[in-house]
Amino acid sequence: MDWQGIRAEVLRRIEARDYPPGGSIPNEADLAAEFGCARATVNRALRELARAGRIERRRKAGTRVPLAPVRQAVLSIPIIRHDIAARGLAPGYRLISAALGRPDAATRAALEAGAGPAAAHLWHVVGLHTGDGAPFVLEDRWINPEAVPDLGPESFAAISANEWLVAHAGFSAGRIAFGAVSATPATARLLGCAPAAPLLRLTRTTRSGPRPVTLVRLSYAPGHEIATGF
């Protein structure tokens, strides 16, 4: 039995309530003996189940089936252009504006830009991604120029700021949040939707090492959903 087989069998027992919610499951050594394999193989299987939130493991206390499993949604956030292409549409990008500007307090805080003069000179780039010519998502981005020195308006002419940054700056994962907003008049005009239409908005902060580089707000066209990839 390989580790994926053991994972499947243990999961089956959990769902069949052989291992009931709140109960313990045998320790690794016992399971290894039952399945006739090495303990490391059982460990691998149980580690994956723990990562998925289906079991809880603590040294000495053993492994338990949680009463209230913490559900986890793993969302893949692809490059927007690929996302559009994957839906069978022809991706396009149109730069709306790119200039140095003064961000609001929330943006400054997210980018850890101080209140000093530097905070008055963040790059502000707005662009529209399209699929088959129709608006797909509006990208509103602030960039900390201290973190990306060799950056100018010409950087954003052809491709999206996201791809430029991926290609020219070191990227780390950051915080991603989902919310809902009303389309402002300007946003509605760009997305071609009714004013005040409800829009799914994704906010992402990206770091290069310890330093925040960019904050992007993506406002998706009405009706758009982002789902787990099951």
Partner DNA sequence: AAGTGGTCTAGACCACCTT
Partner DNA sequence: AGGTGGTCTAGACCACTTT
In the complex with a copy of itself, the residue whose CB is nearer, 145 or 222, is: 222
Q: Residue 107, exposed/middle/buried by CB under 10 A (0-12, 13-18, 19+)?
A: buried
Q: Is 63 in the site for DNA (CB under 7 A)?
A: yes
CA atoms within 13 A on the CB side of 131: 16
Neighbour tally for 43: CB within 10 Å: 16
Widest CA span of the chain, in angstroms? 67
> What letter would DSSP give residue 172?
B
Q: Is 124 in the site for DNA (CB under 7 A)?
A: no
Binding string, 19-48, against DNA, x = CB under 7 A?
A: --------xxx------xxxxxx-xx-xx-
What are the φ/ψ torsions at residue 34 (nearest 5 degrees)? -65, -45
Residue 89 binds which one of a copy of itself, DNA, none, with CB within 5 to 8 A depending on kind?
none
Which residue in the set 5, 152, 192, 223 belongs to the binding site for a copy of itself (CB under 8 A)? 223
Which residue in the set 8, 29, 38, 77 belongs to the binding site for a copy of itself (CB under 8 A)? 77
Residue 75 binds which one of a copy of itself, DNA, none, with CB within 5 to 8 A depending on kind?
a copy of itself
Neighbour tally for 156: CB within 10 Å: 25
Residue 145 binds which one of a copy of itself, DNA, none, with CB within 5 to 8 A depending on kind?
none
Footprint on residues 45-64 left by a copy of itself (CB under 8 A)? 52
CA 35/CA 29 separation, integer angstroms: 10
Judged by CB under 8 A, which stretch of 9-17, 23-31, 131-139, 151-159 contacts a copy of itself?
9-17
Which residue in the set 201, 212, 217, 218 belongs to the binding site for a copy of itself (CB under 8 A)? 201
CA dihedral 52, 54, 58, 63 (to 10 degrees): -140
Residue with tokens 């969302």: 75
Q: Residue 215, exposed/middle/buried by CB under 10 A (0-12, 13-18, 19+)?
A: buried
CA 147/CA 190 separation, integer angstroms: 30
Q: Is 69 in the site for a copy of itself (CB under 8 A)?
A: yes
How far, CA to CA in Å, does 191 sit from each of 132, 137, 150, 184? 14, 7, 31, 10
In the complex with a copy of itself, the residue whose CB is nearer, 129 or 201, is: 201
Minimum Å gap between C-beta 49 and DNA is 10
Sites of contact with DNA (CB under 7 A): 2-4, 27-29, 36-41, 43-44, 46-47, 50, 57-63
Sites of contact with a copy of itself (CB under 8 A): 14-17, 21, 52, 67-79, 82, 163, 166-167, 170-182, 196-201, 203-204, 208-209, 220, 222-228, 230
